[in-house]
Amino acid sequence: METIVWAEPVTYINHRHSVASWLLTYDHKRIGILYLIVVTAAFFLGGLMATLIRLELATPSGDLLSADVYNRLFTMHGVTMVFFVLVPAVPAVLGNFVMPLMIGAKDVAFPKLNLLSWYIFTIGFIFTIVSMVLGGVDTGWTFYTPYSTQGSESHVLITGIGVFITGFSSILTGLNFMVTIHRMRAPGLTWFRLPLFIWALYATSLVMVLGTPVIAITLLMLVLERGLHLGIFDPRLGGDPVLFQHLFWFYSHPAVYIMILPPMGVISEVIACFSRKNVFGYSFVAFSSLAIAVFGFLVWAHHLFVAGISPYSALIFSFLSFAVAIPSAVKTFNWTATLYEGAIWWKTPMFFVFGFLGLFLIGGLTGLFLASLGLDVHLTDTYFVVAHFHYIMVGGAIMGYFAGLHYWWPKMTGRMYNDTLGKFAALLIFVGFNLTFGPQFILGYLGMPRRYHVYPPEFQVLNVLSSAGASILAVGYVLPALYFLYSLKFGEEAGANPWKATGLEWTTQSPPLPENFRTTPVVTEGAYSYSKREMKVA
Amino acid sequence: MFSGFSLFPAQASSLAPEIDNLYLGVITITGFFAVLVVVCITYFAIKYRDPTGDKVGAPITGSVPLELGWSLIPFFIAIGIFVWAAVVFFHIVRAPDQTLDIYSTGKRWMWRFQHIDGQIEINELHVPVGRAVRVVFTSEDVLHDLFIPAFRVKADAVPGRYSAIWFEPTKVGEYHLFCAEYCGTRHSGMIGTVYVMEQADYQAWLGGGATAGGSLLQRGEALFTQLACVTCHLPDGTGRGPSLEGLYGSQVTLDNGAVVTADESYLRESILLSQAKTVKGYERLMPTFQGLINEDGVAALIEYIKSLQPTGNRVASAR
């Protein structure tokens, strides 16, 4: 460490250069970057489809796109964003890159399996792209039967198989993360010294491993039903179309927690760093992640309140849906309390955290409206639902992903991006987001159904507001792509720890060594021991 | 662009005010917490700002009383909202005893309504003001959903079974009727209008409406003979099938010991999928009528079965 090295230091980026060295890498950091590339491509593809949807909805008549094209666009937007952006964004991109660094490990437990996960994911994505090129799928991302098995004339089989394949990537990543967190923590890194991001990833991995096989089986049944007409979901053959909805949501509701738990973990990391404090109520935040993961499996039928389930079972699912809201509320209160008497450093990642808190708050609270049986009858299948889940999944999950990306970018690339532009992007996204999705709550209560290509003219004012907001949002999302790319070549050198953060990932160089650490670190204190540190300019 | 613009939907059913009150109540409660959290975050973010990034925050790690407080207080408030909303929900799903029944079928991409007196309408529904109306409906193809925002009611139309919504219109006028469950290409074109009419206007409309082959009851009676139901379902119970007199609304014991209520869904299933449920003491002899009878015919048969009373008196149901 005392020797002065004049040559450029060896990093995971520059130690090998060939394309093959990237495509055949077992290095969790390189695999994280590979995921980043595919997820970013999927994000802009899904965003492009959203742009076309909002353009079409600027007028009540169907003047830009035909009904069939519109239906395919919102379906592919949903499929792309859910399965290829929201589910993998934080765990597969950020989790892969920083999780082993954060626990002081050289890699994940099964590096080859990790690379296989990326290939499975990418093959699944290619299937989806192929179905798009062939003409797309028009069932909605929910694939409800009997439309998906008998009604639709679009490429349900290819998309279904694509999503089925992608599921295995989730299962393997979840398995890999669980084993890594159990077995590969650095000496002294006990469970209650773990960063909360690791707790969140652990809870997410549980859901991935237990939930994803159910969607895989469900999609397989769908494919068999469509291909061979077995009659599982066909009432004329004694099947039940509502059975599909139970099976679908048994995964797809917990999947919401796959999307939101890891960003919640990111928020804990960033808020601690930029408040220079412990996360308030560490163990409550950690256990609330596990509580959400477990209770998240018991609320699926709240998507079915008007689908023909018994009113008494609706009663139970409504109650459990209220119950699952409590751990999320606990987290929000703890994050707020963390700010109290902090030393709050206003940097870009913290701006994204402020944005997350505001949007997640609205998303979470509007979930209570939908958990309320008497309101859900009127609100379900309207734009209120569309607004609610975008507040959670885009306002919450994507905002958290961006917070994490801005927080760990200097670690991943060794470069700083422009902080002013970063803050400006966070502000644009926050304002644009609220303008896009805020009016949709009102539209929903007015009764505008979702998935409508044309709509009655009295809904136009709010739709125009929404489309205007979407254009601001689009600028907000393109901006980070530009300054991130710019920073790669022209950004300031970040140094090992530009945020003066605690956490093992900040003790190694940026970008990290291929093997992460020269010597395995030994941990002697809990995460976020800011108050014991002397903060000096790096 | 601004014509007809509003921020709140028309309130046109007896249930709508109840649901709107719940909505405003939940807005108030959640709004309070939203403002509380946003004010705290904004205040802390400004008050404790450190532009240098060199200072350290206070060594606070947590507080168990605070954790318990902000877990339990929201939990009890959540239970309060849950109970309130559940009460409203049961008002929505439980129709009153006396309703004006209308049968409906959703299919891509239209709604067909069949009145007791035989009138048939497509994408239009005429109902009298101040009278509890129940729409019993199914789908002929994929999932649909009958949604009338001004009444705050909706339910999915599921092939193979009956769903029902009920409402009591309180305001004369024209209201939207939407399909709210995605059903393919022209999903957004599967819309219609509900006409709420004064009692007298409604009677006049009924008189002028087209009645294809008489009232539902008459058509049901004709079908009952035509399909030879009458040869097994003898009124005195001595036939190969159980007597249907007084069946509607009664409790039926099945051969597997289960007890079910003989509602429209049960009758529909017993006609179309006759092997699904067999009454205790009878053999599984009844053929399936799936494919032999359409949804209109099923509705007519059900109306006829509803009219069969134990005394032998036939009364038009639900009038």
Instruction: Indicate whether B186 and B107 sit together in one domain.
Output: yes
**Nearest residue of chain B to residue A148 (CA atoms):** B142
Between CA A32 and CA A179 the distance in angstroms is 18
- B188 located within any domain: yes
Flag whether B138 is in a domain.
yes
Tell me what the mean pLDDT of segment A453-459 comes to: 95
- Label each residue of chain B as H, E or C: CCCCCCCCCCCCECCHHHHHHHHHHHHHHHHHHHHHHHHHHHHHHHHCECCCCCCCCCCCCCCHHHHHHHHHHHHHHHHHHHHHHHHHHHHHHCCCCCCEEEEEEEECCEEEEEECCCEEEECEEEEECCCCEEEEEEECCCCEEEEEHHHCEEEEECECCCEEEEECECCCEEEEEEECCCCCCCHHHCCEEEEEECHHHHHHHHHHCCECCCCHHHHHHHHHHHCCHHHCCCCCCCCCCCCCCCCCCCEEEECCCCEEECCHHHHHHHHHCCCCCCECCCCCCCCCCECCECHHHHHHHHHHHHHECCCCCECCCCC
Does B245 reside within a domain? yes
Q: Does A243 touch chain B (CB under 8 A)?
A: no
pLDDT at A67 over 80: yes
Chain B positions touching A346 (Cβ under 8 A) are 45, 49, 51
Residue B238 contacts A where some CB pair is shorter than 8 Å: no
Give me the interface pTM, i.e. the ipTM.
0.93
pLDDT in tens, A247-275: 999 999 999 999 999 999 999 999 999 99
A238 touches chain B (CB under 8 A): yes
Are residue B247 and residue B277 in the same domain, yes or no?
yes
Q: Is A449 helix (H, G, I), strand (E, B) or coil?
A: strand
DSSP state of A148: I
The answer to whether residue A99 scores a pLDDT higher than 60 is: yes
Q: Are residues B224 and B181 part of one domain?
A: no
A9 in a domain, yes or no? no
Q: Among residues B171, B191, B208, which one ends one of the domains?
A: B208
Mean pLDDT of A331-350: 96
Contact residues, chain A, for B145 at CB < 8 Å: 306, 381
- Is A2 within a domain? no
Instruction: Establish if A14 belongs to a structural domain.
Output: no
Report the alpha-carbon distance of residue A79 to residue B112 in Å, rounded. Answer: 33
Task: Tell me if A486 is assigned to some domain.
Answer: yes
* Closest chain B CA to residue A379: B152
DSSP assignment letter at A3 = S
Cβ within 8 Å, pair A241-B160: yes
Q: How much is the pLDDT for B237?
A: 80
Domain assignment present for residue B256? The answer is yes
Cβ–Cβ below 8 Å for B67 and A314:
no
Asked if B82 reaches chain A (Cβ–Cβ under 8 Å), the answer is yes
Query: What's the pLDDT score for residue B318?
Result: 37
Domain assignment present for B49 = no
Which DSSP letter does residue A10 get? P
Residue A112 lies in a domain: yes
Q: What is the largest CA-CA distance in chain A?
A: 79
Same domain membership, residue B150 and residue B173 = yes
CB–CB of A341 and B57 under 8 A? Answer: yes
pLDDT at A318 over 50: yes
Q: Of B208, B236, B256, which residue sits at a domain end?
A: B208
Question: B210-216 long-range contacts, Cβ below 8 Å, gap at least 24?
Answer: B210/B119, B210/B120, B211/B117, B211/B118, B211/B119, B212/B118, B212/B120, B213/B118, B214/B118, B215/B116, B215/B117, B215/B118, B215/B316, B216/B103, B216/B114, B216/B115, B216/B116, B216/B117, B216/B118, B216/B299, B216/B300, B216/B303, B216/B304
Range of B80's domain?
11-40+64-94
Based on the fold, state whether residues B141 and B204 are members of the same structural domain: yes
Question: What is the structure's pLDDT at A538?
Answer: 40
Q: Per-residue confidence of chain B (319 residues) as pLDDT tens digits?
A: 666 778 889 999 999 999 999 999 999 999 999 999 999 999 999 999 999 988 899 888 999 999 999 999 999 999 999 999 999 999 999 999 999 999 999 999 999 999 998 888 999 999 999 999 999 999 999 999 999 999 999 999 999 899 999 999 999 999 999 999 999 999 999 999 999 999 999 999 988 766 667 888 888 888 898 888 888 888 888 888 888 888 998 999 998 889 999 988 899 988 888 888 888 888 888 888 888 888 888 989 998 998 887 754 444 443 3
Tell me: pLDDT of A134 over 80. Answer: yes
- How many whole angstroms separate alpha carbon A138 and alpha carbon A70? 9
How far is B54 from chain A, CA to nearest CA, in Å? 5
Shared-domain flag, residues B187 and B261 = no
Flag whether A384 is in a domain: yes
CB pairs under 8 A between A and B: 304
How far off is chain B from A372, nearest CA to CA, in Å?
A: 5
Tell me the mean pLDDT in the region A69-77: 96
A28-56 vs A399-413: helix crossing angle, rounded to 10: 140
Q: How close is the nearest chain B Cα to the Cα of A236, in Å?
A: 7
Helices (H) and strands (E) in chain A, counts: 17, 0
pLDDT of residue A535: 52
* B41 interfaces chain A, CB cutoff of 8 Å: yes
Among A77, A149, A322, A530, the residue to mutate for chain B (most B Cβ within 10 A):
A322
Q: How many CB atoms lie within 10 A of CB A123?
A: 15
The beta-carbon neighbor of A446 closest among B58, B62, B149 is B149
Contact assessment for residue B198 and residue B129, using Cβ atoms and an 8 Å cutoff:
yes
Q: Is residue B2 part of a domain?
A: no
B58 — contact with chain A (CB < 8 Å)?
Answer: yes
Of B71 and A7, the structure prediction assigns the larger pLDDT to B71
Contact yes or no for A374 and B84 at CB 8 A: yes
Residues on chain A touching B150 (C-beta within 8 angstroms) = 447
Residue B319 has a pLDDT of 33
Tell me the three state secondary structure of residue A269.
helix
Indicate the residue among B176, B208, B240 that finishes a domain.
B208
**Residue that is written with structure tokens 């890594």 in the block:** A180
pLDDT at A222 exceeding the cut of 90: yes
Interface of A with B in 357-376 (CB under 8 A): 357-358, 361-362, 365-366, 368-369, 371-376
Q: Measure in Å the smallest separation between the Cα of A19 and chain B Cα atoms.
A: 40
Cis check for the bond before A449: say yes or no (omega within 30 of 0).
no
Query: Which amino acid type is present at position A397?
Result: A
Whether A315 contacts chain B with CB within 8 A? yes
Claim to verify: residue B223 and residue B165 sit in the same structural domain? no
- Please report whether residue B47 resides in a domain: no
Residues B109 and B21 in one domain: no
Residue A391: domain span? 19-532
Buried b (16+ CB within 10 A) or exposed e, A357-383: bbbbbbbbbbbbbbbbbbbbbbbbbbb
Total number of domains constituting chain B: 3
Return the axis-axis angle of helices A241-275 and A399-413, rounded to nearest 10°.
Answer: 50
Per the CB < 8 A criterion, the answer to whether A331 and A262 are in contact is no
CATH of the domain at A150: 1.20.210.10
For residue B160, the Cα-to-chain-centroid distance in whole angstroms is: 15
Q: Are residues B235 and B264 in the same domain?
A: yes
pLDDT of residue B228: 87
Q: State mean pLDDT over A158-175.
A: 95
Number of domains chain A is built from: 1
pTM: 0.93
For residue A312, tell me if it sits in a domain.
Answer: yes
Closest CA to A352 of A428, A455, A244, A456: A428
- pLDDT tens-place string over residues A457-479: 999 999 999 999 999 999 999 99
Among B41, B47, B183, the strongest candidate for a mutation testing the A interface, having the largest count of A CBs within 10 A, is B41
Nearest Cα to Cα of residue B153 among B307, B5, B11, B311: B11
Average pLDDT for chain B: 90
Could you tell me which residues are beta bridge partners of residue A513?
A: A516
Residue A487 lies in a domain: yes
CB A81 within 8 A of CB A46: yes
Average pLDDT over residues A173-187: 97
The whole-angstrom separation of Cα B223 and Cα A205 is 59
Task: Mark whether B77 and B120 lie in a shared domain.
Answer: no
- B193 in any annotated domain: yes
Are residues B146 and B228 located together in one domain of the fold? no
Rounded to 5°, angle at Cα A101 from A185 and A9: 135
